[in-house]
Structure 1
């Protein structure tokens, strides 16, 4: 029978990605999904990991408008998109399925056998594999089902190139149909004239990768020089070494091993790559350990290359509402924005917030959490949560249960939200739904005017280190008075102790200008904080080692270093441990990024805002 195209209507393009390798869903699954949704087609994503699903949807939320502009779509409406933990739900209404699972042949064979049973019988089944022929993936399928299987490879959207290739069984009529649909969403499709190990662009790219690895493994030169010469000679936007770091060196090794087996190519370049990089966890941009380049190299302000910013975070910013364009009611003019790490693609997620101050993100819950100070003398602060797109807002700590909540942080391991309470002079902890509300530290009674007016008791910044069982907080003191302090205590309150009688509270630093928000690197045991006090030490970002000695305590009078200065009322900060950066904001309306040592400070965004809180997620990972 002649092949009959599937009816589309409201049916979906289903993308099957696997979190076990991570980078496949990053480079392909999420980006493929975003292209189709931006082009007006409904999309279903499948991943068994809840955090990966939430992160995938968040990536689309933050990028779909930009993809719509890049691809120049003529469709007036964007498509709907959803994520599922099971294959059945993801493919039940699909007209087209793309598997983007790791480059492991047995996994692909079993995936296509499952799709033959679970996807509609008219559904086209594509493999995004760039190294395995789809002919090898259909051995558990019957002859009729084999006719709707092909290779379809997306060259890292938003690059437009998409290639198709037969499995030798594929019905030829499928190709013009798929080319038309891909052009419809702004892609540039091309069909290989015959079966090949690797597509047209992939084979050219494989040759460049292979020779580059040979040069490096033989010690002829270094990655920087290869890329410098390549860009100069060919006018490229990125060199092969930076590109391999962007793809992921573990993925590069898996793909190259397949070429080696099929073509009898030398194996020593991949063996060198595995021994010196992959086995040491240096997988490239995604790993936090660097790769051929140091960590953070591919996170650039210039996004001209498709390999830049693959591991860059999304920023979530709280605007307290005291900028130039003040709403009529200051106490309800706060907003939440999401933005790319380079300060682009800014979009508003929520507004009408009563003086927001601290924010945290839980990808496992698919939610953001923030504090609202309310009116400082009214004891009407709240803690809210919402989905990552700003919908489904819920108050999880009501007015009266917290006075003036400030910085908020999340214990992802134990599923807790921590927050400081300035005029309430307390440190609090709750579950994600607001239950099990605990007061961990209380430095005064807000019903006592003398104690409430003593700003040395005011708790402001907080961070938690579940790995070492500690939480840290600041008591800032009067404005720019040099009376600020930083404390820490155990996550588990000592038996018989109360919030006012804890014996495990340690004073780490005192006589600071005005310490505000905190962040901890639990691996290095380094504490970072902003200080809003006077120059030369104030309006700065600082850090100090707070690891324990043999007695379990920080050495007496630990030293700290000032990393960067000259901020305009410094407040929120967040660590990007993947790219080894610090992001921080000030109430002057700027968002900054620097290296972990404070060098290379860059203004990523500056506007008519007054930023307070800052959080980030790596939605690409």
Structure 2
């Protein structure tokens, strides 16, 4: 097979699968100068993959040392559109042998005859995937097993037993040009090179745990101490990869080599997988509690840390701008693991509340505008900051504050501070309606009554209710939290509805809030005076459903103190973390039980709202 760079230089690299690994492989090739096509049947995965590349591609050259003009990255639903004219296709589809067999049969029909077809499988040899392809196609199929770029840039190449030998030096050079560190296995082997060694380590670790000889913490501590170049122990690494994946790979070894799975696969299924504990990718955790593998900048990090850290979207009010502080607000994108903050939207008029829908591929936010000018608005944009659209125009909402999507992702709920209102609308702004009206905002006396100002908003789908804060005067100790039914009572309107309940009062100055449906708990930030203000708080909703009297008032729990004018709050359900912003330019991460408060960002900005997604 005659191969030359001139034959491929204008052709794309195609990646099948836009998941955690697929999008990182795509980003690496694109950062190295190649145009890349991602194919994934899921629209949400395609959006998330492109958003990951957009957020991270500029960081890859800092890690690889390869400084090239980045290529483009596109995402496709149909396989034939993604692989058309590709010079190489890398399948990163789920580890199901029949799926891979069918994939290569489809690639035989849809790719050019000189296209190099690669499997990223870490457990199956590519020779096991040739059942439906012709002999001549087998000659251009082989394994390229990627670890976890960009932190781990090793790629293991291996023949399917029939691969043209001259392919390997050619492909090795292309990988090196991009910044990968390729090695070529001398012969076919289940598990390649590293994974065979790693499989033995995992197997013995699981045996140690299943026999009760040690704990994950002790085992990992010994590993890190003995092998100090690694920042993660084997148990943390297994959690990061996914215990279901660990079990699947081990099953393949068991079948091929006839070894026992009692202390490995059986142990994992019994104690973890059957209980939904798949590792860091699930809110149930795995060998460790959820969130263990997500690290902040102050913590030591290994190659597999932060694979499941969320992407953060933070609003900067822009008030520290010397030119135009009223119109210098921004949307910044960063990570729950820290790192660079990137501006995707600028020149906003005091942005305050934000939410993100990966499903619709859009960000939604409020601009307060000038508080006495009735010029607030709600806008949306694509995840990369483009295509800014007006959802609620100026004049239709006075001073919009916090904003949230309902759990179904079909409605926007938001508070209007000087408008004395709680409102909602469809994602395109249609069916804009007022749910709560605390007075006539045209009346100056009414609009200056801060006890009627609505600020934070959240929706409890389990209860079919929404909650909101009325903060009261600054540091005044007259803040309150209310709730009402999602459905308006019959024959009532926003001013006359009789289902409004005050659930908490005499709070310092409550701002943003959110309900955790899994634990039936309400969380909120409070920017009032210490010791009860500048705090993160929670209360179990069950306490708010009981009859409340003067002698039987439910007492909130303070989870964290010493914030600096706390504003935004967002729950990270997967990792069991809470992210908080404050006006001092900090982003904090705290466990949902209030422990392990850490600083993710420390800036000179003035932060208001925060939200997150998993991409």
TM-score > 0.5 by shorter chain: yes
Structure-2 separation of matches of 1:554 and 1:253: 50
Asked if residue 251 in structure 1 is aligned to residue 233 in structure 2, the reply is: no
Cα deviation, 1:292-314, whole Å, max 9, x if unaligned, reads 11111111123530111111111
Aligned partner of 2:42 in structure 1 is 49
Asked if residue 379 in structure 1 is aligned to residue 371 in structure 2, the reply is: no
Aligned partner of 1:491 in structure 2 is 486
Asked if residue 523 in structure 1 is aligned to residue 518 in structure 2, the reply is: yes
Matching residue within 288, 303, 309 for 2:306: 309
Q: 1:52 to 1:196 in 2, by over 3 A?
A: same
Structure-2 separation of matches of 1:554 and 1:340: 41
Matching residue within 53, 65, 74 for 1:60: 53
Aligned pairs (5 A) from 1:535-550: 535-547=530-542
Structure-2 separation of matches of 1:4 and 1:604: 47
SS of structure 2 residue aligned to 1:547: helix
Asked if residue 265 in structure 1 is aligned to residue 259 in structure 2, the reply is: yes
Q: After the TM superposition, which of the residue ranges 551-560 and 364-373 deviates more from structure 2?
A: 551-560
How many angstroms does 1:93 deviate by?
Answer: 3.0
Aligned partner of 2:383 in structure 1 is 388
Aligned pairs (5 A) from 1:576-591: 576-591=572-587
CA contact under 8 A between 1:321 and 1:327: conserved in structure 2?
A: no
How many angstroms does 1:252 deviate by?
Answer: 0.6
Aligned partner of 1:429 in structure 2 is 424
Aligned partner of 1:22 in structure 2 is none
Cα deviation, 1:28-81, whole Å, max 9, x if unaligned, reads 211111111111111111112222111111111121111121011132x11111
Q: After the TM superposition, which of the residue ranges 151-160 and 552-561 deviates more from structure 2?
A: 552-561
How many angstroms does 1:237 deviate by?
Answer: 2.2
TM-score (norm 2): 0.96
TM-score (norm 1): 0.95
Asked if residue 574 in structure 1 is aligned to residue 570 in structure 2, the reply is: yes
Cα deviation, 1:156-198, whole Å, max 9, x if unaligned, reads 1121110110111211121111101100111111111111111
CA contact under 8 A between 1:327 and 1:333: conserved in structure 2?
A: no
Asked if residue 602 in structure 1 is aligned to residue 598 in structure 2, the reply is: yes
Q: Which runs of 5+ in 1 are unaligned?
A: 19-24
Structure-2 separation of matches of 1:565 and 1:554: 27
CA contact under 8 A between 1:296 and 1:579: conserved in structure 2?
A: yes
How many angstroms does 1:411 deviate by?
Answer: 1.6
Cα deviation, 1:404-428, whole Å, max 9, x if unaligned, reads 0000111241411111100011111
SS of structure 1 residue aligned to 2:205: helix
Aligned partner of 1:21 in structure 2 is none
Aligned partner of 2:92 in structure 1 is 100
Structure-1 separation of matches of 2:132 and 2:5: 24
Structure-2 separation of matches of 1:6 and 1:164: 23
Aligned partner of 1:12 in structure 2 is 12
CA contact under 8 A between 1:62 and 1:345: conserved in structure 2?
A: no
Q: Which runs of 5+ in 2 are unaligned?
A: none
Q: 1:481 to 1:274 in 2, by over 3 A?
A: same
CA contact under 8 A between 2:3 and 2:170: conserved in structure 1?
A: no
CA contact under 8 A between 1:13 and 1:43: conserved in structure 2?
A: yes
Q: After the TM superposition, which of the residue ranges 473-482 and 340-349 deviates more from structure 2?
A: 340-349
Aligned partner of 1:238 in structure 2 is 232
Cα deviation, 1:447-480, whole Å, max 9, x if unaligned, reads 1112111111111000112233221101111111
Structure-2 separation of matches of 1:134 and 1:206: 19
CA contact under 8 A between 1:5 and 1:122: conserved in structure 2?
A: no
Q: 1:205 to 1:510 in 2, by over 3 A?
A: same
Cα deviation, 1:54-111, whole Å, max 9, x if unaligned, reads 1111111121111121011132x11111112221222123211111111111111111
Aligned partner of 2:316 in structure 1 is 319
Structure-2 separation of matches of 1:494 and 1:133: 63
Aligned partner of 2:131 in structure 1 is 139
How many angstroms does 1:126 deviate by?
Answer: 0.6
How many angstroms does 1:495 deviate by?
Answer: 2.5
Q: 1:8 to 1:444 in 2, by over 3 A?
A: farther
Structure-2 separation of matches of 1:405 and 1:413: 22
Structure-2 separation of matches of 1:565 and 1:505: 30
Aligned partner of 2:448 in structure 1 is 453
Matching residue within 556, 560, 564 for 1:564: 560
Cα deviation, 1:518-542, whole Å, max 9, x if unaligned, reads 1110111111111111221111111
SS of structure 2 residue aligned to 1:567: coil
Q: After the TM superposition, which of the residue ranges 158-167 and 466-475 deviates more from structure 2?
A: 466-475
How many angstroms does 1:2 deviate by?
Answer: 5.0
Asked if residue 482 in structure 1 is aligned to residue 482 in structure 2, the reply is: no
Aligned partner of 1:120 in structure 2 is 112
How many angstroms does 1:253 deviate by?
Answer: 0.7
Matching residue within 380, 403, 406 for 1:408: 403
Asked if residue 611 in structure 1 is aligned to residue 607 in structure 2, the reply is: yes
Q: After the TM superposition, which of the residue ranges 132-141 and 467-476 deviates more from structure 2?
A: 467-476
Q: 1:120 to 1:5 in 2, by over 3 A?
A: farther
Aligned-pair Cα RMSD in Å: 1.7
CA contact under 8 A between 2:455 and 2:471: conserved in structure 1?
A: yes
Asked if residue 212 in structure 1 is aligned to residue 205 in structure 2, the reply is: yes
Aligned partner of 1:504 in structure 2 is 499
Matching residue within 197, 212, 225 for 2:190: 197
